[in-house]
């Protein structure tokens, strides 16, 4: 029973990692090889069928527990010529938590009002409290180039009613000036970041679960609108 309880806590708090964003270093993204940027300037929408947003945190100091969010949206305004003019906004549905838990939740939590670990993680006020806070958002405030195909994105991450600045490192994993099916621009990113959940008010379980949560995003953006050329004078 204690083992089941500990796993419940791990699942619950690990979900906090949310945010397609994170604070701190992202060595795995920075170390990966970046692709050449071929995508043109414009507004891009996330392809919901070719994307993942996973998170992990240490359980009892033994191993990382990994899960994901299944529903989120993102819009990218991209300018490859002047990367600093680019921006991204992300909205995550905290009720879309997905874990790999295969146990009998109701059988081991007979007094719980929730039907699954996922529901408990998303709705309980100790965790993501989605009934009160139905969205998790990230809005970039600064985009910098750190090398060919490499970016550092700083922005405001909001969840549990708190907003704090976070930074994530990203690489371009591939791009095309014309997607073979849409015939418009396409670009893919990998972004990794780590932040402490206690900075958003998630405290009291650090003796069981790591405070640091790592988020990893992998996904494609497809061009929705081309960027208009700046008007000329003279």
Which H/E stretch holds residue 47?
A: strand 42-59
Question: Which residues, other chains included, contact 210 with Cβ-Cβ below 8 Å and sequence gap of 6+?
Answer: 57, 58, 59, 61
Domains, the chain, ordered by start? 2-226 (2.40.128.110)
Phi, psi of 81 (to 5 degrees): -75, -35
- Tell me the mean pLDDT per 10 residues along the chain, length 234: 39 38 45 82 96 92 92 96 94 94 91 92 86 95 94 94 94 95 95 90 80 93 74 46
Contacts of residue 167, Cβ cutoff 8 Å, sequence gap at least 6 = 22, 23, 24, 152, 153, 154, 193
pLDDT at 32: 64
pLDDT of residue 29: 55
């Amino acid at each position: 029973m204690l083992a089941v309880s500990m796993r419940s806590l791990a699942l619950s708090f690990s979900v906090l990692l949310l945010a397609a964003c994170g604070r701190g270093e992202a060595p795995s993204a920075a170390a990966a090889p970046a692709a050449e940027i071929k995508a043109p300037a414009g507004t891009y929408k996330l392809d919901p069928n070719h994307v993942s947003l996973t998170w992990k945190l240490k359980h009892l100091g033994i191993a990382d527990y990994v899960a994901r969010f299944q529903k989120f949206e993102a819009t990218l305004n991209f300018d490859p010529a002047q990367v600093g003019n680019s921006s991204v906004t992300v909205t995550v549905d905290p009720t879309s938590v997905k874990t790999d838990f295969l146990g009998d939740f109701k059988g081991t939590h007979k007094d719980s009002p929730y039907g699954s670990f996922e529901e408990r993680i998303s709705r309980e006020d100790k965790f993501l409290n989605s009934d009160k806070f139905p969205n998790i958002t990230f809005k970039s405030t600064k985009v910098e180039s750190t090398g060919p195909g490499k970016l550092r994105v700083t922005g405001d991450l909001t969840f549990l009613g708190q907003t704090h600045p976070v930074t994530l490192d990203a690489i371009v994993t591939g791009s095309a000036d014309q997607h073979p099916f849409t015939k418009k621009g396409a670009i893919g990113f990998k972004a990794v970041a780590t932040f402490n959940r206690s900075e958003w008010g998630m405290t009291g379980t650090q003796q069981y679960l790591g405070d640091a949560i790592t988020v990893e995003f992998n996904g494609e953006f497809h061009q929705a609108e081309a960027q208009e050329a700046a008007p000329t004078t003279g």
